[in-house]
Chains A and B, each alone.
Chain A
Amino acid sequence: MTTTETDTLRRILDYSSRADPYPLYAELRETPVARQRDGSYVVSTYREIAGLLHDPHISSDVRNLARPMPSHAGESTPAFINLDPPEHDRLRRMAMRHFGPPHTPGLVTGMEDDLTAVVTTLIDGLEDKERIDVVDDFAYPFPVAVICHLLGVPREDEPRFHLWVDALINSIDYNPETDPKEKLENGLRARKDLREYLGGLLQRRHGKPGEDLLSRMANDDGPDGRMTDEQIVATANLLLIAGHETTVNLITNGMLTLLRHPDVLRRLREDPDLVVPLVEELLRYEPPVHIIPWRAAYSDITVAGTLIPKGAQVMLMLASGSRDPVRFHEPQRFDPDRRDNQHLGFGSGIHLCFGGPLARRETQIALTELVRRLDRPQLVTDPPPYRRSPILRGPIHLEVTQGG
């Protein structure tokens, strides 16, 4: 393997590439499976990524990595996203019972009115403002309110876990060679604090069946039995983080993309039904999750002619796969009329995003309403400033003027 490939990944992880990593992804795709100097493998082409997402010889359990990950140290009860079958299947099933079909079919559709109400209230507050920050004023508070409501976290606690989630996300991609130890420690502490906090909430739910997910998980038995308290906390922890950062980025990336494509923005205002294929295209073109960084080869496997040895870390470059010209016609074009749009925005296979249906609906409602009600919005800076993470990628602020 040449060092250019290693350099390409480094440049992607480097903050200065955050605004536009796509040319670097194109460079990566020249070598679909690239071994890195540290022994990990980066996979960047659609077919190979999709193959690995369905490959039972790839493990999601970080304990199967040849070299353990510092940011997951001391985790005794991983959430199902970090587990393999059969434990993964069982825990995901038990959580899914309360989150969607077939046992709770109306969950997402039943929330539509609430979602619209939150969105309407938030936009009501923006109407007279000449300058708004789409992130702080809208894209952040909306999904957070939704996931807190769903789980049963009191609104007044939201600010606290905003801090925890920030520290936690910040430490996900911790690199001992370049990052200060503090970053890792903050993350680990936040993880612990969040768990304790959720554990406390859970204690008060036992014996009190209610509508929120925490009380349902604490009190309801399905064919697989009941989750332990540790498992419920791990699951709630996962849903909070996943149902939060990703949707914020999806909405923000969406608004940014629309502002960059005024013709599409205009079409959406005139034809709100366009939002359905538009959000799909967004998940392909500007997805919130760019990389799945920590899959492990459970046995030796050969992908596109390259042997990935057992135990090696495998990084799946989802956002690169979704722009692979071998799979998508004119992949660099944002085209809400695109057909056969099987993007990797929510991953695929057994770990296919659990909250996908909710995230879709939240984003559909958010974008339709923003576009309908903001008065001739204009982007202030392009590109906007980005969050640190190359994994969960999105602007940290998105300043927009209106009425001008």
Chain B
Amino acid sequence: MTSADNLRAFKREGRIVIVGASLAGLRAAETLRDEGFTGSLTMIGDETCEPYDRPPLSKQVLTGWVPADGTALPRRREIDAEWLLGVPAAGLDLAANHVRLADGREIPFDRVLISTGVRARPWFVESEAALDGVFVLRTREHAEGLQRALAAGPSRVLVIGAGFTGSEIASICRERGIEVTVAELAPAPLVGALGAMIGEVASDMQRSHGVDLRCGVKVTRLEGDAQGHFRRAHFDDGTTVDADVAVVALGGIRNTEWLRGSGLAAGVWGIACDTGCRALTLDGLITDDVFVAGDVARCPNPVYEYRLISLEHWANAVEQAEVAAHNMVSPQADRWPHLTLPVFWSIQFGVNIKSVGVPTFADEVVLAQGSVADHRFVAAYGYRGRVTAAVSFDNAKWLDHYRGLIETAAPFPPPGPTPDQPLDMKPVPVDFPGPQLLAQGATVVVTGHDPGERRVTAAQQHHR
């Protein structure tokens, strides 16, 4: 049989398993059926409910506007799949081609898509994390619990971490008239994602909306009362804050532990793949039957010097899912590369924030349009003299233009003038917080001498 025949047969009666039944998983399944895959499709998910959407959790759900169970993802078509919900996948055997579930079942596949996403990083002291009133926010249940706690009218909420999720939660608290303290290790909110200039705007926004913002501090201890309810947080500068609710918004942990020993290049940064969303092995070889998509994927981007980039963005999950699904059922010559520039949006303190490109891939930033004081502007990011990203505050309609500049490697700073060009249009250093984040992560060791026997194995992490 030729490989074209093989592919036809696979499309007709092959077995595809999707691990991680959320946004990326569902969109991939829909695309597989759209592309004419009629074989068997199995969706494995550790959550018990049908796939739902996460961005509304920190927005509409926390305001009480939409109930947590009102966030189901729209079904764009029938996918006719077998759903194995409520049990996590616990292993992947690439020699036998099956996924092992935590309850011991083995699910065979011809091709598998991994879209297990990330989970919330919990508070680092387990007993403190277990206090009543201490929350994280990643799932429907989290959102429901937190919304109930907010509705109860807490005297104060403490948000730990001022990234996007933490800032959105703080914004909602103010909208609901709840006192809120935000504690952030960096010098300003959003600095890790968008740099110092935008961080300053974000600080200003939070303070002008009455947030008690404390930057450059570390929360060291969460203290509960006799009933086991959270009451007070201690900071490393010796100060304390009294509150009834604490939200731990310290980012996510990629769900890759279950792949340990599978031979895939999976670790704390995600699962490495090529632009066709095919997973790489630890050695850096491409597998042809294992695909990845969404928050758990770590994909090279030619625009950013082919660096492997993992993103926790909604649109990225959808686009990778579509590319991965297409490639799973297409011949080599018809495969698509995932080359879309990342876009991200957030709504906080009444401002619509949107970005295109990778703002952390930058050494300078310039205010290109509008005014920082009004919280309405576009900032362009540059790396060694070319435009690499742009961020808008209440100005999203211009971003397509900046996308074009990034895609065509236009010179930085972008040429002017525009009618709303700011007077102080001078690039400044982008100034991200230190590289300590980069130092942690998976390390590997290379073994063997001859090309035929050289292999890479994962090293156990040095730190806990």
A352 to B400: give the CA distance in the assembly, Å: 14
Cβ–Cβ contact B419 & A56, under 8 A = yes
Interface membership of B376, Cβ < 8 A: yes
Instruction: Quote the shortest CB–CB distance from A225 to chain B (angstroms).
Output: 13
Instruction: Quote the shortest CB–CB distance from B30 to chain A (angstroms).
Output: 14
Cβ–Cβ contact A298 & B418, under 8 A = yes
| Residues in A whose Cβ lies below 8 Å from that of B415 | 57, 299
Cβ–Cβ contact A86 & B420, under 8 A = yes
Cβ–Cβ contact B401 & A56, under 8 A = yes
Instruction: Quote the shortest CB–CB distance from A65 to chain B (angstroms).
Output: 13
Cβ–Cβ contact B400 & A85, under 8 A = no
The answer, among B376, B397, B401, for a CB contact under 8 Å with A86, is B376
A84 to B420: give the CA distance in the assembly, Å: 8
| Residues in B whose Cβ lies below 8 Å from that of A51 | 400-401, 404
The answer, among A50, A56, A61, A352, for a CB contact under 8 Å with B398, is A56
Q: Give the B interface residue count (CB, 8 A).
A: 19
Query: For the complex, would chain B's binding face be called helix, strand, loop or mixed by DSSP majority?
Result: mixed
| Residues in A whose Cβ lies below 8 Å from that of B376 | 86, 89
The answer, among B371, B399, B417, for a CB contact under 8 Å with A299, is B417
**Contacting residues of chain A (99-140) with chain B, CB-CB under 8 angstroms:** none
Cβ–Cβ contact B420 & A54, under 8 A = no
Query: For the complex, would chain A's binding face be called helix, strand, loop or mixed by DSSP majority?
Result: loop
A57 to B419: give the CA distance in the assembly, Å: 7
Instruction: Quote the shortest CB–CB distance from B230 to chain A (angstroms).
Output: 34
State the total of A-B contacts with C-beta under 8 angstroms: 51
The answer, among B369, B416, B417, for a CB contact under 8 Å with A85, is B369
| Residues in B whose Cβ lies below 8 Å from that of A64 | 419
Residue of A nearest to B421 (CB): A56
A337 to B91: give the CA distance in the assembly, Å: 44
| Residues in B whose Cβ lies below 8 Å from that of A9 | none
Interface membership of B370, Cβ < 8 A: yes
Residue of A nearest to B420 (CB): A85
Cβ–Cβ contact B404 & A85, under 8 A = no
- Select the residue from B368, B370, B401 with max chain A CB neighbours within 10 A: B401
Nearest 3 CB-CB pairings of A with B: A84-B419, A56-B418, A85-B420
- Which residues of A approach B to under 8 Å, CB–CB? 50-51, 54-57, 59, 61, 64, 84-86, 89, 298-299, 349-350, 352
Contacts A51-B401, A56-B398, A352-B397 aside, 9 further interface pairs with beta carbons under 8 A come to: A51-B404, A54-B399, A56-B378, A56-B420, A57-B415, A84-B419, A84-B420, A298-B419, A299-B415
The 21 listed contacts between A and B (C-beta, < 8 Å) are: A50-B400, A51-B400, A55-B401, A56-B368, A56-B398, A56-B401, A56-B418, A56-B420, A59-B419, A84-B419, A85-B419, A86-B376, A86-B420, A89-B376, A299-B415, A299-B416, A299-B418, A349-B397, A349-B398, A349-B400, A350-B397
